[in-house]
Amino acid sequence: MFREGDWVLIVHGERKFLRRIDPKDSINVRKDVLRFRDVIGKEGGDRVGNFYLFKPTLEDIILYGFKRETQIVYPKDSFYIALKIGAVRGKRVLEFGTGSGAMCAVLASAGSEVHTFEIRERFFKLAKKNLERFGLEGEVHFYREDFATAEVKVEEFDCAFVDVRDPLPYLEKVYACLKKGSPVCFLLPTTNQVASLLASARGLFGDFEVKEILVREYN
């Protein structure tokens, strides 16, 4: 049942909103009004007038609840990456940069212990706040640090995820702090960057995959 202070996903036709339930609040869509006091006591899947109410999923939280001030990793990619690198319970994951925390939230929700580095104070605070607002901070250790100078131990991590503009300067450091044979994912927006990364990473890493994930929506 929804209670005051809970998050609710509100669906009205094609539009979706993620809101915290405050009995004094309401939402207007076209000519329809949803008073939040009428949401209290309802369950996920219930309907009030033309509004459907749902408990938000992790994807809803990232897409409609997180404040974004950086490019983020979208759930279509992040869900796949988290399982692909094996970021599950009992694993220690290295991430940099944290950005808005969208990827970090997925790594944490998969149950792993995340050590995430963000060079900029503003994004460090934003990511922390985004995860804390939705109770997703679990096993996350946030560092306001440049990964280049961060103190990490040799073979400390079980896997890694890297999302910075130019990952090339960090390849050897990433390799050194990963346990031998562990997976790492680099997110790169252009094929030129992929080519440069592959050229530099050969000799360090032993098995490569380059992928782009396309999702086709049907009406």
75 belongs to the binding site for ligand SAM (CB under 6 A): no
Q: Does 120 bind ligand SAM (CB under 6 A)?
A: yes
59 binds ligand SAM (CB under 6 A): no
Structure tokens at 174: 């990433």
Select from 13-21, 40-48, 96-104, 132-140 the region that touches ligand SAM (CB under 6 A). Answer: 96-104
Which listed range, 10-18, 38-46, 93-101, 206-214, lies at the site for ligand SAM (CB under 6 A)?
93-101
Asked whether position 142 contacts ligand SAM by CB under 6 A, the answer is no
DSSP helix/strand/coil, 6: coil
- Residue by residue, DSSP assigns 140-180 as EEEEES-TTT----TT-BSEEEE-SS--GGGHHHHHHHBPT
Closer by beta carbon to ligand SAM, 37 or else 120: 120
- Minimum Å distance from CB 73 to ligand SAM? 4
Q: Is 6 in the site for ligand SAM (CB under 6 A)?
A: no
Tell me how many degrees the CA angle 15-16-21 measures, rounded to the nearest 5: 135
Alpha carbon distances (Å) from 171 to 79, 94, 168: 24, 13, 6
Of the candidates 57, 15, 9, 20, the one whose C-alpha atom is nearest the C-alpha of residue 32 is 15
Is residue 73 involved in binding ligand SAM (CB under 6 A)? yes
Q: Which residues bind ligand SAM (CB under 6 A)?
A: 70-73, 96-97, 99-103, 117-120, 123, 146-148, 163-164
